[in-house]
Amino acid sequence: MSRLCIIPLFKLLYRAIVFGLLLMLHAAPSVQAQSPALDSLRRLVQQTPSDTNRVLLLCQMSDQYWVLRVDSAAAYANQALALARRTGYRHGEGEALNRLGSVYRESNLAQALELFQQSLRLGEATHDLRLQAQNLRSIGIIYVYLRDRREGLSYYFRALCLGEKMHDEKRMVIELSNIGLAYDLYNEVDSSRIFQERAYQLARRIDTPTNYILYGLGQVARKQGRPTEALDFYRRSIRESKKLHHSRSTNFSCVGLATLYQQQGRLDSSIYYARLGYQAAQLNGFLRGVLNASLLLTQDFRTRGTVDSAFKYQGRVLAMKDTLFGQEKVMRLQGLSYREQQRAQQAIASQAMLKSRYQTYALLGGLAVLLLIVALLVRGRRQQHRANEALQASLAELKEAQLMLVQREKMAFLGELTAGVAHELQNPLGFVKQFAAASTGLVEEINGAQRLTHDGALDREILAGLKQNLQEISQHGQRATAIIKGMLEHARTGQAPRVSTDLNHLVQEYLCLAYDGVRQQDPQFTAQLTTHLEAAVPPVSVVAPDLGRAVLNLCTNALHAVRQRQKTADTSYQPQVTVSTQTQPDGAVAISIRDNGVGIPADEQTRIFEPFFTTKPMGEGTGLGLSLSHDIVKSHGGTLQVQSQEGEGTEFVLTLPAVPS
């Protein structure tokens, strides 16, 4: 007789056997892992006189037992609920309802959902965000069990948003990991990896347990074909789960590791870890864990040809499916019925509201027509006169504001031009001062301020040095004259020729100029300036003063952004501005100016190049700097693009086209 014939004949026998095992699972005492936390909580419950504190401690006892044995967790949750209702402690009642729902989630999904919804309503009534977030997560788990992807992820993300709003990083770790596990269940592996890695990084930073996260990372690695990494994640999860006495996560990790070994054809190892997972789930009363481990053991024993063992675990699978999936079908039917009732009620309410609205609109419409006629006859001319006056006043204010903005931009440009002239003249005048001082010393020697050696050769050497110094003074004086002449010619003509320019030198020069300008406004301000200038960048034919002004504006904006963030950030924040040049594959040259400042909101990024639009506080910007920079780059045939994330920083990329050889 084939195996397919045996199964229907003895199906009733299997269910009877497994039903007896389930009774043993719920009734037989299990070895409970004792922990200092449980002992400490027991003592606190006995010593605490306050009823409200006793309710919260009983809820914590339920949490501790939930990972060990659900029947004990239910007992403590019921005690907390009774005490909270007796004393009128609404927050404690919500906490106890949530714990009780977590217990019933394994055996009665409908009852668990009702308990979570009651707790959620209490949290909303008392404006308790933490209780709301906890119940949103718990309801999301039920919908994930029911394979309702949209509802499950919706509740998970609502819980995550509340965690972020409360800045509760431990809660955020749990929500991120739950979202990752949900995506893993729906075989969306890339999304699962993103959320598990975010959860792992945050958990490591705040030093919170990572046993579930490691299991989720193991699932991702296994499904993406990285067995070595998956093996490491599963084993680390098992070690941490055992250290925490966490039977549920032990079940998850053991079943995941058994699945990996099964895929590799290592059946002995797969059976070993599947049995460990089965025992952990059985100890905790975790029915879904028992089902998952039994499925693996049935498949492994079938592959090995061990019919008796396969037969045994297949019977347990059937019993678990009847227990779990039967109630899931009921939940789905209840959900459909409930949604249909809601739609019918909403339709009736909408019809009644629509009818009432039409009646109201009819009355209001008639009244509005009468009032409109009266208003048009009595106040028409007066309104027209007032409108004209308002328009004239608005036009005058607009003209005045425009004149002020233009004047402010002129003053800003004059300041930048003055700073540029000072910067250009600083070097030659410094040399003039240096050589003039040296020449003064030589003249004093010649005039007899100090005795000469009467050595003809030494006297000639002193006179030659004096002559060299005077030549240097003349040379640098001519350079300063040329700089001033060039700027005057540019001011008179309004145009300047394009010349071959070393962009690395230009960028370095105007970055320092911008930094000096900001430091003059705020001497206490410091920032880390970093340059990555590609040596192979070819010279580019540009109007150097114009392009320099664009770079100056961008660097000044970057320094302003990091200075603004420094005012509100903690002491660990380090203002950074990074400027780099790079040759593109098509020969174009890109200049990148990146900062770690306040960033630009997404809804403002499309407007920053508009004239008179500024993100700076009132009085600190004209709104023309970026607009003029954009026009300068565009006149050179290039592009100016921005990438920014609010609170993280901004990067401007200035690209100039390749010059034909």
- Whether residue 53 sits in one domain with residue 104: yes
| Model pLDDT, residue 469 | 77
**Burial class of residue 207, CB neighbours in 10 A (0-12, 13-18, 19+):** exposed
pLDDT at residue number 39:
65
For residue range 293-330, list pLDDT tens digits in order.
888 888 888 888 887 887 788 777 777 666 655 555 54
Residue at 141 is within a domain: no
Alpha carbons 301 and 425: distance in angstroms, whole number = 88
* 115, pLDDT greater than 70: yes
In the predicted structure, residue 65 carries a pLDDT above the cut 50:
yes
State residue 544's pLDDT score. 85
Could you tell me if 513 and 451 lie in one domain?
Answer: no
Query: Residue 567: which CATH number?
Result: 3.30.565.10
Region 362-380: mean pLDDT is 81
Q: Do 448 and 544 fall within a single domain?
A: no
Q: Give the three-state DSSP class for 650.
A: strand
Q: Look at residue 444 in the predicted model and tell me its pLDDT.
A: 67
Mean pLDDT of 358-382: 81
Domain-ending residue, one of 110, 127, 144: 127
Residue scoring higher pLDDT (457 or 282): 282
In this structure, are 438 and 527 located in the same domain?
A: no
427 in the same domain as 551: no
295 domain-assigned: no
Tokens standing for residue 227 = 């067995």
For residue 253, being part of any structural domain is answered with no
At what angle are helices 544-568 and 503-521 packed, to 10 degrees? 40
Would you say 620 and 599 are in contact if contact means Cβ atoms under 8 Å apart? no
Same domain, 512 and 650: yes
Looking at the fold, whether 453 and 565 belong to one and the same domain comes out as: no
Considering 127, 160, 185, which residue would you say is the last residue of a domain? 127
Per the CB < 8 A criterion, the answer to whether 411 and 418 are in contact is no
pLDDT at 472 over 80: no
CA distances for 253 relative to 158, 293, 559, angstroms: 27, 11, 49
pLDDT for 554 equals: 92
How far, in Å, CA of 103 to CA of 61, rounded?
Answer: 13
Q: Which residue has the higher pLDDT, 492 or 534?
A: 534
Q: Identify whether residues 477 and 503 lie together within a single domain.
A: no
Q: Which residues contact 529 (CB under 8 A, 6 or more apart)?
A: 511, 515, 577, 579
Do 476 and 553 fall within a single domain? no
Asked whether residue 65 is assigned to any structural domain, the reply reads yes
pLDDT level of residue 359 (50, 70, 90 thresholds): confident
Kindly state whether residues 478 and 508 are assigned to the same domain. no
Closest C-alpha to 180, from 218, 133, 132, 142: 218
Can you give the residue range of the structural domain that contains 72? 35-127
* Domain containing residue 98: CATH number: 1.25.40.10
**What are 659's two structure tokens?**
């010059």
Q: Strands 576-583 and 499-501: what pairing?
A: unpaired
**Average model confidence (pLDDT) for the chain?**
78
Mean pLDDT of 326-343: 48
More confident residue, 229 or 70: 229
| Domain endpoint, select from 127, 151, 170 | 127
CA–CA dist 569, 564 (Å, integer): 9
Percent of the chain whose pLDDT exceeds 70? 76
Residues in the chain, overall count? 661
The reply to whether 396 falls in a domain is no
Is the pLDDT higher at 70 or at 119? 119
Q: What is the mean pLDDT of residues 541-557?
A: 88
Which class for 337: exposed (0-12), middle (13-18), buried (19 or more C-beta within 10 A)?
exposed
CA distance 174 to 595: 32
Alpha carbons 638 and 621: distance in angstroms, whole number: 25
Q: Are residues 456 and 571 in the same domain?
A: no
526 shares a domain with 447: no
Amino acid letter, residue 42:
R
Per-residue confidence band for 493, with pLDDT thresholds at 50, 70 and 90: very low
pLDDT at 592 over 90: yes
Asked if the structure places residue 551 within a domain, the reply is yes
Q: Locate 166 and state its tokens.
A: 């409360």
Number of domains composing the chain: 3
Q: What is the mean pLDDT of the segment spanning 155-170?
A: 91
Instruction: Tell me the pLDDT tens digit for each residue of 172-213.
Output: 999 899 999 989 888 899 999 999 999 999 999 999 999 989
Whether residue 4 lies inside any domain: the answer is no
The mean pLDDT of 122-143, rounded to a whole number, is 89
| Listed ranges 216-220, 316-320, 475-479; the one with the highest mean pLDDT | 216-220
Indicate whether 586 belongs to any domain: yes
Confidence (pLDDT) at 213: 92
